[in-house]
Chains A and B, each alone.
Chain A
Amino acid sequence: MMETEEAQIATGLRRRDPEVLDALIEQYQHRLLRYLIHLTGDRATAEDLFQETWIRVLEKGYQYDGKSKFATWLMTIAHNAAIDHLRKRRPESLDEMRDPEDAAPFEPVSDGPSPFEQVAALEDRARIQAALEQIPPIFREVLALRFQEQMKLEEIAKLINIPLATVKTRLYRGVIALRPALMGGQE
C-alpha cells in the first residue's frame, strides 16, 4: 500500500531525516513566515520564531502521527513557539505585544498593474495593512488561518486550543475591525 504524504513526513520526522526537513522548510517557508508575521506583527521576531519553529519540529517530530495535515501541526508548533516567546518578552498579554513602529511585515504581490493602478493598489494596501496592524493579533491570527490557510473553524479551534465559539467571535470581530479600512475609510 502506498504511504500518504503525511505518513511519509511522519516517518521522516521520527528518523530526524535532514532531507525531509529540508523539503518541508522549502515547501512551507512562505506560509509559515506569513503566519508568524500576522501573529507577532514584527518581521524580525517572526524570523526568529521561524527558526525556532523548525527546531521544535525536529525535536517534537516523533509526536506527529501523520493522521492530521502537516500544515496544521506545523502552525500549532509555530503558535506555541510564539506564545512562549511572547510570554517571556511580555508576560502580561499576547494582545499587547505588538509595536506599531516595527518594520512593515507585508510585501505586496507583484502582478504588473498600470502605474495608476499601482498607486491605487498601494494606497489600498497601505490602508488595509494599517488596519491589520491596528487589530489585536488574536483576531489577525484567526483571519490569517481562515483566509490564507483556508482552515476550517474547528481546525483553528484545535490549533489555537480555544473553544469553537471563541474562534467564531474572533473571526467576526476581526472582520468587523477591518471593515472601515475595506470601505475606504468612509465609515
Chain B
Amino acid sequence: MNGHEHDRAVDLINRREVEGVSEADARWLESHLAACEDCSQYELALSGAERAMRSFTVMATGSLVESTRARVHARVVQLRERDSRRFLIAISFAMGVVFSTLSAWAWWKVGGWMVERFSLPSSMVGPGVVFFWLVPAILLGVLLVEFPESKFEGSVMQLLMKDRQRGIQ
C-alpha cells in the first residue's frame, strides 16, 4: 500500500457523507479500510468528530435577536436617507451639466462683450466664463451641504426625493 492509496482513502472518507462517492469507489474504500488500520482509525475519528460537533447546540438569545433587528432597522433608515441625498445630488449635477452646456455659448459671448466693454485683457474671457459657468453648481452644492433636508420642504427636489423613497419602500 502506498501513500497515494491512503490519500485517496482519506479523501473518500471525507467525501462519503456529504458529497457522496461512486459505488466503485465505495467498494474500493471498504476493501482498503479492511486492510488499513490507520485509515480505519481515521474513519472512526471522523464519525466521532461529526457526532461531537452535532451534539452541541447554541441558542441566540431573544435580546440579541431584538437588538440586532433594531440596529438593522436603524441602519435601513440611514441608508435610505443617504440614497435619497445621493439621488438629489445626482439630479442636481445632471441639471447643472445640461444647463451649463446649453448656456456655454451665451456665457462666452457675454465674456467677450465684458472684455471689450471694460477694456480688460482678452485672456480673462476663458477663466471668467468657467467661473460664471460653475456658479450655479457651486451655489447648489453649498446649499445642499449647509442646509438640512427640511429647508427644501415643498421644493421640486424634495418631491423627487420623496417619490424615490416611496419607490424604494
Question: Real complex partners, A and B?
Answer: yes
* Chain B nearest Cβ from A92, distance in angstroms: 28
- A51-B71, A175-B49 known; A125 and B56 CB under 8 Å? yes
A168 at the interface (CB under 8 A from B): yes
Is chain B's interface secondary structure helix, strand, loop, or mixed overall? Answer: helix
Chain B residues near A25 (CB-CB < 8 A): 65, 68-69, 72
Chain A residues near B73 (CB-CB < 8 A): 18
B15 at the interface (CB under 8 A from A): yes
Which residue from A15, A50, A147 sits with its C-beta under 8 Å from B54?
A: A147
A-B contacts, CB under 8 A, total: 123
Is chain A's interface secondary structure helix, strand, loop, or mixed overall? Answer: helix
By a beta-carbon cutoff of 8 Å, the part of chain A in contact with chain B is 15-16, 18, 21-22, 25-26, 29-30, 32-34, 37, 47, 50-51, 54-55, 58-59, 105-109, 124-125, 128-129, 132, 143-144, 146-148, 150-153, 168, 171-172, 174-176, 178-179, 181-183
Contact of B55 with A108 in the complex, beta carbons under 8 Å? yes
Those 5 A-B pairs whose CB atoms lie nearest each other, nearest first? A182-B48, A147-B53, A29-B60, A34-B58, A179-B45
By a beta-carbon cutoff of 8 Å, the part of chain B in contact with chain A is 10-11, 14-15, 18-19, 41-42, 45-46, 48-50, 52-60, 64-65, 67-69, 71-73, 75-76, 79-80, 168
* Chain A nearest Cβ from B150, distance in angstroms: 23
Contact of B53 with A29 in the complex, beta carbons under 8 Å? no
* Chain B nearest Cβ from A131, distance in angstroms: 8
* Chain A nearest Cβ from B77, distance in angstroms: 9
* Chain A nearest Cβ from B87, distance in angstroms: 14
